[in-house]
Structure 1
Amino acid sequence: MVNSERLWSRIQELALIGKTVDDGVNRFSYTLEEHAANEKVKQFMEEAGLEVSYDAVGNLIGSKAGEEDLPTILIGSHVDTVPNGGKFDGALGVLTGIEVMQSLQEQGINLRHPVKVIAFKDEEGTRFGFGLLGSRAVAGHLTHEDLERKDQQGISIREAMLERGFNPDKLHTAEMDHVKLYLELHIEQGKILESQGVSVGNVTGIAGPLWLKVKVVGEAEHAGATPMGQRKDPLVAASLMIAEIEKLASSYPDAVATVGSLSLTPGGVNVIPGTVEFTIDLRDVQEDIRDRLESQIREFADQIGRDRNIEVVIEELQRVSPVLCSDDIQAVIQESISELEVPVVSLPSGAGHDAMQFNGLFPVGMIFVRSKDGISHNPKEFTSREDAKAGADVMLKTLLKLDQE
């Protein structure tokens, strides 16, 4: 078992770096606050007996050699945050990996496989609007073109890397091979575990986001002088589409659909809108289901356009494939959960994680711990000390079992 007091103390200590007046956390990639957090995590890694280094893009890596010449087991998450974020998102996963390795060291348990605990650079994408930067580099997916992306001050990722002492010209050296599998522990950021009354759960997969922008073009006219039967109102058409999107998504067990942005022009109180634009975020762990939902939404939108003599244009903004967690790793996680004598709950992740970048490269597995009220990306984000310990104990048990395979 792990040392829950040490784990909890480190969570609180790390949360002081970048702390906001609202008791939230601001730690954005390649900033002084994020660097200070990494240096604190480096200290924890060294206390756990890990050999610590930074790679070319700034991933912080704590390594432990194995007793045999076998592929490496990766454990990771991140310490960067969204604006005014919480203290558990990402950080709990990194600190749990460190605690597991320190507990094994103190118990005199040596693993057959080498292990690397990684604090990935910039998972959230807050500063540059481009997330999963560190895990992209490890997977070999980060390009030199990506490094030209700029923040709101016009500073590129490349320039930010150089400012912190990293080497963008050696980007390729961050890529890892000879990897057995990847494990990640994360807060759920939802309410499923809480509704089931359990502290820890097995993740079946990570839903891939598909983002669409819908433009509905009607005719702007005088609100008082245009009879209802003669209007080409794009807002009414968009409203029908949005209602149908909710209905269609609700017909699938794990699919979600969100209209998160809506704008209309010209925007006068006495003017029928001429153009409406809104976004759609579609997610499901099964790509065929997500794509089927997309087709149904497109068909409905086209039909509304024809029925109302209104132009409808749908643009794809982003399409990311979902990731299914390894059945073999899931089985081990489920077995480890059952050993805590609590019900085994398996659930999908609607949010994205670093694990997504390793799809098709090597097996991945994820462990969720309960989030109070499902709140995340918020200073009120909270996971109890008991739940954090339960998650860490499952991680330790899972690692020991996978190391013997």
Structure 2
Amino acid sequence: MPLTLDQLNAAPLPEALQMLDGLYEHSPWIAERALAQRPFASLAQLKHAMTRVLDEAGVEPQLALIRAHPELAGKAMVSKTLTAESTNEQTKAGLTNCTPEEFAHIQQLNADYNARFGFPFILAVRGPRGTGLTKAQIIEAFERRVHGHPDFERQECLRNIHRIAEIRLNDKFGFEPVDGQLVWDWQEKLAQHSDPGYAEKGQLTVTYLTDAHRACAQRISHWMKDCGFDEIEIDAVGNVVGRYHPAAPGAKYLITGSHYDTVRNGGKYDGRLGIFVPMACVQKLHAAGQRLPFGIEVVGFAEEEGQRYKATFLGSGALTGHFDPAWLDQKDADGITMREAMQHAGLCIDDIPKLQRDPAQYLGFIEVHIEQGPVLNELNLPLGIVTSINGSVRYLGEVIGMASHAGTTPMDRRRDAAAAVAELILYAEQRAAQDGDSVATVGMLQVPNGSINVVPGACKFSLDMRAPTNAQRDALAQDVLAKLAEICERRGLRHTLEETMRAAAAPSAPEWQARWEAACTALGVPLHRMPSGAGHDAMKLHEIMPQAMLFVRGENSGISHNPLESSTADDMDLAVKAFDHVLHQLTTESH
């Protein structure tokens, strides 16, 4: 019989300790110290209590715990001296069934890793969904992490140990994160669609109105139908919109959602998580035959990343009345205008103005999003409350000098465009660091038709600057642009600069932030408030209605815009529960 929290909370310490036996390899002290914090209101609260115990124990006990673990496909497996839990996990991952070549490769990786770090490589082989990583995925992670930094690897081993304990705890309590697994599966299936040039390499890239993008829209709309949405449409800019009607006609709607386009060679969860979490909530409402005092509108925004065209937040901008008709004449890398792409996709351009939403018909906008950073991961917290989205400004620039012979042009006679941009990059880095929480990035850098033996005569670059307030962002941008002018003047160069995007900082509406906080508290998840350094569709909706965001922890140090972007089914399940709770709060408030 599965355990219950009531049993655990009521049991004498020796019995309670026996209930939690085997969670942490040969280390019952972790559960014992955590049990001092009983009663636990949720499994999430118990899991976090154990992570805190280990966090506060210090480095030596942490290293002892790591060293108490067996190597993957190591000596303990061969001699059959693994714990029952480890045997089960390594068997499920296929590690007990390696070919001689695979076994030899893993043995060598074990030796290399131990020699470098002084402790064994730890990986939660049952993976983010809980159903197991493949041997190939395990070996790939091993090969990547064997080159890591020692301090990082110690923490990464501990994070994987906590994940192993989480799955073992789920097993003991008979808990399966069903809603989280559904959301996880949707994202995996949607990631099967990718643009040409990337799909062949197994990489995920979905840019505005490509075949892969339109296939994603079709899939999302079909899944919305399966979930029980009453109205589903792909609108005039390609947004996928699903509406679940309120109990009574004429009631307001809660609007939510995120984007389904991706950056090039990006991750599977950025944006898409915020579409599928509310879809899972609607599916449950529909299955229960339940209507709320308000409707739910879920939008899969067609374009947020600005990858194919320089039109960031195109999808959400159309809803706020900020679609710029000048965008229609922009051309992509193949010379196809946005107008042509939209016509080819069968979108009705004349209907774009009709997409503007009337704020009076909405309660507000909320968005769930993967964090895209390391903060929650390092704090061992599954969810975070967003206090504000940083303001940002982007530029595309070019410095123009004079191309000349690399061998015959003396250093003091050069008009080197690339050297000027290099100087600008270093200044931008140093200037942003002065503020502490500002950031500046040159993410694109190109010497057109550059040659190894030619002084660069031109250098194209991008510039992205962000800060928690508009004033701080503007001061940063002013200093960096002034420095660019000064560098070009001193070096005898000229430059062009085009502002491609400006987004105001978007502080969360206090009453909506409070609803997310109440949801986390009810789930037993400690509150962590944090700003968002990344831009989100919520920034656009913020211009016409109150908004607030919930962050979900990412794995692999929270990396994003990267194929390693990941989250667990357990964390996604908590996000669905938090969203459910907000719906419950709104229902209670309306009575």
- TM-score strictly above 0.5: yes
Question: Structure 1 stretch 28-37 or stretch 267-276: which is displaced more?
Answer: 267-276
Name the one with the larger helix percent: 2
2-structure distance, mates of 1:110, 1:47: 17
Pairwise CA RMSD: 3.2
How far 1:155 sits from its partner (Å)? 3.2
How far 1:264 sits from its partner (Å)? 5.9
Match for residue 515 of structure 2 among 332, 351, 357: 332
Q: Secondary structure at the match of 2:435?
A: coil
Is this contact kept in 2: 1:215–1:275, CA < 8 A?
A: yes
For residues 4-31 of structure 1, what are the alpha-carbon distances to aligned partners after superposition, in whole Å with 9 as ceiling and x for unaligned? 3322332223223338344433333333
Match for residue 394 of structure 1 among 578, 581, 589: 578
Match for residue 219 of structure 2 among 33, 40, 47: 40
Asked whether 1:6 is paired with 2:182, we answer yes
2-structure distance, mates of 1:265, 1:168: 35
Residues 56 and 404 from structure 1, CA distance in 2 versus in 1: closer, same or farther, beyond 3 angstroms? farther
Residues 41 and 264 from structure 1, CA distance in 2 versus in 1: closer, same or farther, beyond 3 angstroms? closer
Is this contact kept in 1: 2:373–2:559, CA < 8 A?
A: yes
Q: Which amino acid aligns with 2:227?
A: A
1:278-289 counterparts in 2 under 5 A? 278-289=461-472
Question: Structure 1 stretch 56-65 or stretch 180-189: which is displaced more?
Answer: 56-65
How far 1:322 sits from its partner (Å)? 2.4
Question: Structure 1 stretch 145-154 or stretch 361-370: which is displaced more?
Answer: 145-154
Q: Which amino acid aligns with 1:315?
A: L
Give 1:62's aligned residue: 242
For residues 308-356 of structure 1, what are the alpha-carbon distances to aligned partners after superposition, in whole Å with 9 as ceiling and x for unaligned? 5655757352333222222221121122122222222222222222222
Give 1:115's aligned residue: 296
Is this contact kept in 1: 2:437–2:467, CA < 8 A?
A: yes
Residues 233 and 77 from structure 1, CA distance in 2 versus in 1: closer, same or farther, beyond 3 angstroms? closer
Name the one with the larger strand percent: 1
How far 1:197 sits from its partner (Å)? 1.5
Percent identical residues: 31
Q: Which amino acid aligns with 1:332?
A: R
2-structure distance, mates of 1:147, 1:268: 35
Give 1:101's aligned residue: 282
1:187-198 counterparts in 2 under 5 A? 187-198=370-381
Residues 324 and 316 from structure 1, CA distance in 2 versus in 1: closer, same or farther, beyond 3 angstroms? farther
Residues 142 and 297 from structure 1, CA distance in 2 versus in 1: closer, same or farther, beyond 3 angstroms? closer
For residues 198-221 of structure 1, what are the alpha-carbon distances to aligned partners after superposition, in whole Å with 9 as ceiling and x for unaligned? 111112222233234373759978
1:297-312 counterparts in 2 under 5 A? 297-301=480-484, 308=490, 310=492
Residues 243 and 98 from structure 1, CA distance in 2 versus in 1: closer, same or farther, beyond 3 angstroms? same
Give 1:317's aligned residue: 499
Match for residue 144 of structure 1 among 322, 325, 345: 325
2-structure distance, mates of 1:233, 1:142: 39
- TM-score, reference length from structure 2: 0.61
Give 1:133's aligned residue: 314
Is this contact kept in 2: 1:200–1:391, CA < 8 A?
A: yes
2-structure distance, mates of 1:278, 1:79: 27
Is this contact kept in 1: 2:275–2:299, CA < 8 A?
A: yes
Asked whether 1:206 is paired with 2:389, we answer yes
Task: Pick 1 or 2: higher relative contact order, CA cutoff 8 A, min separation 6.
Answer: 1
Q: Secondary structure at the match of 1:176?
A: coil
Gaps of 5+ in 1: none
Residues 85 and 277 from structure 1, CA distance in 2 versus in 1: closer, same or farther, beyond 3 angstroms? closer
How far 1:362 sits from its partner (Å)? 0.5
Asked whether 1:16 is paired with 2:192, we answer yes
For residues 112-140 of structure 1, what are the alpha-carbon distances to aligned partners after superposition, in whole Å with 9 as ceiling and x for unaligned? 11111111222233333423222121111
Match for residue 264 of structure 2 among 73, 76, 83: 83
1-structure distance, mates of 2:566, 2:449: 43
Is this contact kept in 2: 1:218–1:310, CA < 8 A?
A: no
For residues 38-64 of structure 1, what are the alpha-carbon distances to aligned partners after superposition, in whole Å with 9 as ceiling and x for unaligned? 222222212222112232333221111
For residues 357-394 of structure 1, what are the alpha-carbon distances to aligned partners after superposition, in whole Å with 9 as ceiling and x for unaligned? 22320011111111222322332221111111122222
2-structure distance, mates of 1:233, 1:156: 34
How far 1:194 sits from its partner (Å)? 1.0
How far 1:276 sits from its partner (Å)? 5.7
Residues 312 and 342 from structure 1, CA distance in 2 versus in 1: closer, same or farther, beyond 3 angstroms? farther
1-structure distance, mates of 2:233, 2:445: 45
Question: Structure 1 stretch 309-318 or stretch 276-285: which is displaced more?
Answer: 309-318
Is this contact kept in 2: 1:24–1:87, CA < 8 A?
A: no
Q: Which amino acid aligns with 2:582?
A: T
Is this contact kept in 1: 2:255–2:364, CA < 8 A?
A: yes
Q: Which amino acid aligns with 2:223?
A: F
For residues 62-93 of structure 1, what are the alpha-carbon distances to aligned partners after superposition, in whole Å with 9 as ceiling and x for unaligned? 11122353322101112222333322122211
Question: Structure 1 stretch 35-44 or stretch 18-27: which is displaced more?
Answer: 18-27
Q: Secondary structure at the match of 1:329?
A: helix
Residues 314 and 65 from structure 1, CA distance in 2 versus in 1: closer, same or farther, beyond 3 angstroms? same
Is this contact kept in 2: 1:254–1:348, CA < 8 A?
A: no
Q: Which amino acid aligns with 1:76?
A: G
2-structure distance, mates of 1:227, 1:162: 52
Is this contact kept in 2: 1:301–1:312, CA < 8 A?
A: no
Residues 338 and 25 from structure 1, CA distance in 2 versus in 1: closer, same or farther, beyond 3 angstroms? same
Residues 27 and 227 from structure 1, CA distance in 2 versus in 1: closer, same or farther, beyond 3 angstroms? closer
Gaps of 5+ in 2: 1-176
2-structure distance, mates of 1:144, 1:266: 33
